[in-house]
Homo-oligomer: A and B are copies of this chain.
Amino acid sequence: MNEVLNSEEMRPLTADKIQKLNKHLHFLQNEADHFLGYPCTREFDYQTLFQFLQLPMNNVGDPFRASRYHLNSHQFEREVVDFFARLCGADAAEVWGYVTNGGTEGNMYGIYLARELFPQGMLYYSEATHYSVPKILRMVNARSIQIRSQYNGEIDYRDLFETLKIHRDLPAIIFANIGTTMTGAVDNIENIKQILKQLSIKHYYIHCDAALGGMLLPFIEGAESFGFDADIDSIAISGHKMIGSPLPCGIALARKKHVDSISRAIEYIGTFDTTISGSRNAITPLFLWYAINTKGFDGFKKICQRCIEIADYAIAELRAIGIEAWRNPNSITVVFARRKVPEIILKRWQIATEKDFAHLITMSHVSRNHIDRFIQDIRQLDQEVA
Contact = CB atoms under 8 A, between A and B. Distances in A.
B299 A24 contact: no
Contacts of A364: 7
Interface in A300-332: 300, 302-303
Contacts of A25: 51-52
Interface in A17-60: 17, 21, 24-25, 27-29, 31-32, 35, 37-38, 40-58
Interface residues of A, number: 103
Q: Is the interface of A mostly helix, strand, loop or mixed?
A: loop
A27 B273 CA distance: 26
A241 to B, nearest CB: 9
Instruction: Count the copies.
Output: 2
A129 to B, nearest CB: 10
Contacts of A21: 48-49, 286
Contacts of A68: 37, 347, 350-352
12 contacts: A4-B47, A12-B294, A25-B52, A28-B70, A35-B71, A38-B56, A57-B247, A69-B350, A132-B271, A140-B140, A141-B141, A246-B283
Interface of A: 1-7, 9-14, 17, 21, 24-25, 27-29, 31-32, 35, 37-38, 40-58, 68-71, 73, 75-76, 101-105, 108, 112, 130-132, 134-135, 138-141, 238, 240, 244-248, 265-266, 269-271, 273, 276-283, 286, 290, 293-296, 299-300, 302-303, 347, 350-352, 364
